[in-house]
A and B are shown apart, each in its own frame.
Chain A
Amino acid sequence: MGAQLRVYKRRIKSVTATKKITKAMEMIAASRIVKAQRQVSASTPYATELTRAVTAVATGSNTKHPLTTEAENPVRAAVLLITSDRGLAGGYSANAIKAAEQLTDRLRAEGKEVDSYIVGRKGVSYYGFRERKVAESWSGFTDNPTYADAKKVADPLIAAVQKDTAEGGVDELHIVFTEFISMLTQTPVQNRLLPLSLEKAVEESGTKGEILPLFDFEPSAEDVLDALLPRYVESRIYNALLQAAASKHAATRRAMKSATDNAGELIKSLSRLANAARQAEITQEISEIVGGASALADATAGSDK
């Protein structure tokens, strides 16, 4: 076997191995999307009921709460960015980070300081590399977030919102995550969680136009709101984490699918080249044989043996 042909054969072998790996990753991601989607829908009843309850208290009473009232001139905002721990997901983390950057710039332009909170190793390393200040970060659960993880993320955020602005508290809480729209479409979105805007909450719970009854609050409207709002934030964050996880799996699947396709293309063109090389080798051998034979014939033609 010629040297050229051997090189092609070796490359085909290694690309085939890579293709097998990407194919396996694609299938794993595909099965995880389904699981993640199921989790998103399993968490929906809790989220809708909670949103309904929040709307009910906020519309049914004149209670003022730091988590629902807009500060007159907000000076500091918290941005929670949700990225993934692992790469190999195409532009997934990069897009989320870009959306967070835009939001940060906008908030800065409005004259607010921005505290960054980050979920996922990709986001952490992006900020770490640029030596930007990160208020707090979490990682290790982005593939399969649980409610306990959401609580862990939400606790310091709620504490920051409840703290006085002068003491380093924040007036607004924004969240940036990748929304899972369909298997093919996932878009990074920026949402303002707090202060709560009621119109949006009503829209989300799908109770628009529904007249809420006058509730009897137990023990009191303030206490109910006090207990409700942190849970509301937690459940929104939980939902965002779950959607981000589903989006990440979908992005991985797509990235791995195109990697598999590319490997297939590469194998095809390499085997064409290998075939051509083999053919060239054979042609050369034939012409060598023919040349050798005719040389021999020429050499013996003149002699009279």
Chain B
Amino acid sequence: MAAELHVELVAADRKVWSGEATLVVARTTSGDIGVMPGHQPLLGVLESGPVTIRTTSEDGGGTVVAAVHGGFISFADNKLSLLAEIAELADEIDAQRAERALERAQSEEDAAAERRADIRLRAVAVR
């Protein structure tokens, strides 16, 4: 069994992140799922939420957290692709801006915007 898997996190208009990882945790419509190297081929529908990628690198590896808004997870041949219409790395998210967006969405009762802001904040919190 290979010790690591190759991850590609792609949004509709760009490649967000790619690299090697030992574990990827994502939320599918039927619950959280953790994928480790050698997992059986899988194709699932993602819920909006944070995705956690445990990376490997020379300095022992770290964790990459990304907020994905809908999408798919597919795993085959030790290659994992996360497809999302919108995906952002937690590092890219401006927490204060997301908070403001959340407040605004709540006051305007814009459910979709509220959910988006909420996911962003959760991704930041996990980081």
Chain B nearest CB from A143 CB (Å) reads 16
Q: For the complex, is A126 an interface residue (Cβ under 8 Å from B)?
A: no
In Å, the complex CA distance between A150 and B85 comes to 11
Q: For the complex, is A42 an interface residue (Cβ under 8 Å from B)?
A: yes
Q: Which residues of A contact B8 (CB under 8 A)?
A: 45, 49
In Å, the complex CA distance between A101 and B10 comes to 36
Given contacts A218-B33, A219-B44, A235-B12, 17 further A-B pairs with CB under 8 A are A39-B13, A43-B12, A43-B14, A45-B8, A46-B83, A52-B81, A56-B43, A56-B74, A151-B85, A215-B42, A216-B42, A217-B43, A219-B28, A224-B43, A224-B72, A228-B72, A238-B13
Interface flags, A40-56, vs B, CB<8A=1, else 0: 00110110011011001
Chain A CB within 10 Å, residue with most, of B8, B28, B76, B83: B83
In Å, the complex CA distance between A218 and B44 comes to 4
In Å, the complex CA distance between A234 and B85 comes to 10
**Total of A-B residue pairs, C-beta within 8 Å:** 88
Q: For the complex, is A166 an interface residue (Cβ under 8 Å from B)?
A: no
Q: Give the number of residues in A that approach B within 8 Å (Cβ atoms).
A: 31
Chain B nearest CB from A151 CB (Å) reads 8
Nearest to A52 among chain B residues (CB) is: B74
Contact (Cβ within 8 A) B44 A217: yes
In Å, the complex CA distance between A303 and B42 comes to 121
Nearest to B11 among chain A residues (CB) is: A46
6 tightest CB-CB pairs across the interface, nearest first? A218-B44, A213-B41, A147-B12, A219-B30, A215-B43, A227-B45
Given known contacts A42-B14, A213-B76, A219-B29, A49 and B83 CB-to-CB distance under 8 angstroms: yes
Contact (Cβ within 8 A) B42 A218: yes
In Å, the complex CA distance between A194 and B73 comes to 23
Contact (Cβ within 8 A) B74 A218: no
Q: For the complex, is A212 an interface residue (Cβ under 8 Å from B)?
A: yes
Residues of B within 8 A of A (CB): 8, 10-15, 28-30, 33, 40-45, 71-74, 76-77, 81, 83, 85
**23 A-B pairs whose Cβ atoms sit less than 8 Å apart in the complex:** A42-B14, A43-B14, A46-B10, A49-B8, A49-B83, A50-B72, A50-B83, A53-B72, A56-B76, A150-B12, A212-B76, A213-B41, A213-B77, A214-B41, A216-B40, A217-B44, A218-B29, A219-B28, A219-B45, A227-B45, A231-B83, A231-B85, A235-B12
Q: Which residues of B contact A212 (CB under 8 A)?
A: 76
Q: For the complex, is A245 an interface residue (Cβ under 8 Å from B)?
A: no
Contact (Cβ within 8 A) A215 B76: yes
Chain A nearest CB from B71 CB (Å) reads 8
Q: For the complex, is A146 an interface residue (Cβ under 8 Å from B)?
A: yes
Chain A nearest CB from B70 CB (Å) reads 8
Contact (Cβ within 8 A) B74 A53: yes
Q: For the complex, is A164 an interface residue (Cβ under 8 Å from B)?
A: no
Contact (Cβ within 8 A) A45 B13: no
